[in-house]
Amino acid sequence: METSAARTIVHQPPARPQRLKASMVAIDREMCVERAILVTDAYRAHEADPTVLRRAKALAKVLGEMTLLIADEELIVGHLSNRRRSPSVFPEYALRWVEDELDVFETRAHNRLRVSPEAKRTLRDIYPYWRGRTVCDRLRAVRPADLQRAVDHGLVANPHEWTGLAHVALDVPRVLQEGVEGIQAAVAARLAALERTAPGFLQQRIFLEALLLLCTTTIEFAHRYASLARAMARKSQDASRRDELMRIAAVCDRVPEKPARSFWEALQALWFLQLIPQIECNGFSITPGRFDQYMLPYYQRDIEAGQLTPDQAQELLECLWIKFS
């Protein structure tokens, strides 16, 4: 009779994610102001546009011009800013607290953050534009005085003053199955079918135009990573890493534009769907949802086809978990 000891499987965790984790933890965190510059430029350039379209154009500028990064050994790619562990600034939501704490980020008791002299100058240059224009400022302007006092003393809190999209589960399965191109086609069809005389026509048209822009922007963002991976592969002296980078390029050329065909493609598509809302609006509590359910078919298909082993799947998963952290 088989004993429990005989059934025990001794498993060594994949080495690559352990190295990725160690290298990430070792990095000194530094504030990134690149997004703040791009967003400010976009808002200035499109002041006459409706808010929905203006926000879409701001995100398009950020995703189209932000500095991209693929760290050594990464298999799942995409970063929030121009370096690892480098939080961005979201001036359209709230800037007053950043202004108040700019000179103490590096010395405060917890959650210290390096801020370069150049970054400080940049933020101080854009302060005047955003005063009175941020979400936080506008809420303060319309609140009754007693409610604002309660907020100032911490008795009432609204996290959406500081951030945007939150506490949501995106429809990841739909993107994995249809690709962004499928959603783009559905939006285009709905836009074409709008009746000009129907109530709310203008608002619907603006919203759908913003969605089309975001679909295009999302696809182009992934393609930028594909181009970066190919460029890095051409320069790599390591044949194994060169092959990985070319695989990354092929994956990013495919997803999230088109339906995912493999476990790796599905993981990468999911990460882009998590990453872009974070870049857009500093969102928090964006859950991947029932990851186990919608990812299982891709795992099973690759295993059965001999295109993936359980150890390879674990390595890819742990590379994804590093991104979440």
pLDDT in tens, 98-107: 999 999 999 9
Residue 2's pLDDT is what?
A: 47
Q: How many CA atoms lie within 13 A of 251 on its CB side?
A: 24
Determine contact, residues 36/88, Cβ cutoff 8 Å.
Answer: yes
Determine contact, residues 262/292, Cβ cutoff 8 Å.
Answer: no
Q: In the structure encoding, which two tokens stand for residue 306, read together?
A: 């001999």
Q: How confident is the model at residue 51 (pLDDT cuts 50, 70, 90)?
A: very high
> Residue 276: how many CB atoms within 10 A of its CB?
22
Residue 161 backbone phi and psi in degrees, to 5: -70, -25
Q: Is pLDDT of 282 > 80? A: yes
**Which residues does residue 40 pair with via DSSP β-bridges, in sequence order?**
none
Q: Is pLDDT of 16 > 90? A: yes
284-287 vs 166-169, strand pairing mode: parallel
- Residue identified by tokens 């029932």 is 290
* pLDDT, mean of residues 134-151: 90
Residue 219's pLDDT is what?
A: 98
Question: Whole-angstrom Cα distance, residue 288 to residue 168?
Answer: 9
Instruction: State the greatest distance between any 2 C-alpha atoms of the chain, in Å, as a whole number.
Output: 78
Cis ω before 199 (30° cut-off from 0): no
* pLDDT, mean of residues 148-164: 82
Question: Whole-angstrom Cα distance, residue 152 to residue 198?
Answer: 44
Q: In the structure encoding, which two tokens stand for residue 77, read together?
A: 């790619």
Residue 43's pLDDT is what?
A: 98
161 CB-contact burial (10 Å; exposed 0-12 / middle 13-18 / buried 19+): middle
Q: Is pLDDT of 1 > 90? A: no
C-alpha separations of 66 from 82, 201, 275 in Å: 7, 34, 13
Q: How confident is the model at residue 166 (pLDDT cuts 50, 70, 90)?
A: confident
For all residues of the chain together, what is the average pLDDT? 93
Question: Whole-angstrom Cα distance, residue 210 to residue 152?
Answer: 35
Q: Give the number of residues written for the chain.
A: 325
* pLDDT, mean of residues 78-93: 95
**Which residues does residue 168 pair with via DSSP β-bridges, in sequence order?**
286
Q: Is pLDDT of 5 > 60? A: no
Residues 199-232 pLDDT 10s: 999 999 999 999 999 999 999 999 999 999 999 9
Residue 263's pLDDT is what?
A: 98
Q: List, in order, residues 6 or more apart from 73 with CB less than 8 Å away.
A: 16, 19, 20, 241
Determine contact, residues 320/298, Cβ cutoff 8 Å.
Answer: no
Q: How confident is the model at residue 52 (pLDDT cuts 50, 70, 90)?
A: very high
The proportion of the chain whose per-residue pLDDT surpasses 90, expressed as a percent, equals: 83
Q: How many helices (H) and strands (E) does the chain have?
A: 14, 2
Q: In the structure encoding, which two tokens stand for residue 3, read together?
A: 């004993």
